[in-house]
Copies of this chain bind each other. A is one copy, B any other.
Amino acid sequence: MEKRAQFLLALSAAAAAAFVAVVFVLRWVLHFREGLAWDGGPAEFNWHPVLIVIGFVVLQGIAIIVYRLPWTWQCSKLLMKFIHAGLNLLAFILAVISMVAVFDFHNFAKIPNMYSLHSWLGLAVVVLYGLQLVLGVGMYLIPVAPVSWKAAFMPLHVYSGLSLFITVIAVALMGITEKLIFGLSNPKYKDSPPEALFVNVLGVLLVVFGGLILWIATRTSWKRPSDQVLHALHTSAGGEDNTKVGPALSQLSEGNDAESSSDVRRRGNKLGDEAE
């Protein structure tokens, strides 16, 4: 019970941070900036922070912890995988649209593209996120990969997912920094006008949300019960002998979205006919 209460506390805090962050980014562009439009001007640029915060930060964060929600544990793992993949796909689409908005705005205003560290890391993270999505669907939703491949790939899938999420937030913080320096002229960023303080708080909210998602995603005891059993099974094998089970099976303990071996076997046998 105490475990459940702690989980709900962390989840509520994450939800609150996400909600306030979305309100803040909307108020930023609608109240302090030029609003939203698709006209090549600053109002088109404004879709960039809005879609990044809603899609690439909040939706991706939800996608990461969707297996942790206790009221989903009665649903089939396959359904949850579709939800996980669907949320990530939606986040990816919103991220791509948000990038189109920036390129449009830059081209219209004759500002060079892809010169900043923000743009380098941002493009890299979108490309790698797309790759992660394709590999994830290919490995865990299309029933062709051998069970051993699925297990071996899982620690990398989890590590990449969390790393990309962290990097997205870091890139968003750089974007906020850029926009406040370029966007504020009189008074400037260094004069701390209300917009500067307001958007700094948005940055802090993104960090808090990211920290809470990481905490929730890395508590083994908050996993889906079937995944906890798998976790215990593989780690109790322990020591050097892990290599006999398969090089990466022993590392499933790092996996937060590991499918249970029974799930894997069932899907392997039924060839994807698992819509329970």
Contact = CB atoms under 8 A, between A and B. Distances in A.
Contact of A190 (B112, B191, B203): B112
Contacts of A250: 220-221
A147 interface: no
Interface in A235-270: 235-240, 242-243, 247, 250-251, 253-254
Interface string A215-236: 1001111000100110110011
A254 B85 CA distance: 25
A110 to B, nearest CB: 10
Interface in A165-208: 166-167, 169-171, 173-174, 176-178, 180-182, 189-192, 196, 199-200, 203-204, 207
Contact of A200 (B111, B116, B238): B116
Best-buried of A115, A169, A239 by chain B (most CB within 10 Å): A115
A236 B238 CA distance: 10
Contacts of A163: 211, 214
A3 to B, nearest CB: 7
Given A121-B207, A169-B170, 9 more contacts: A112-B190, A112-B191, A112-B192, A170-B207, A173-B174, A174-B174, A174-B177, A221-B251, A231-B253
Interface of A: 2-3, 111-112, 115-118, 120-121, 155, 159, 163, 166-167, 169-171, 173-174, 176-178, 180-182, 189-192, 196, 199-200, 203-204, 207, 211, 214-215, 218-221, 225, 228-229, 231-232, 235-240, 242-243, 247, 250-251, 253-254
Closest 7 CB pairs of A and B: A236-B236, A170-B170, A232-B238, A117-B203, A235-B235, A117-B200, A220-B253
15 contacts: A2-B243, A2-B247, A112-B190, A115-B191, A116-B177, A159-B218, A166-B170, A170-B207, A171-B173, A173-B174, A181-B182, A220-B235, A220-B254, A225-B239, A228-B238
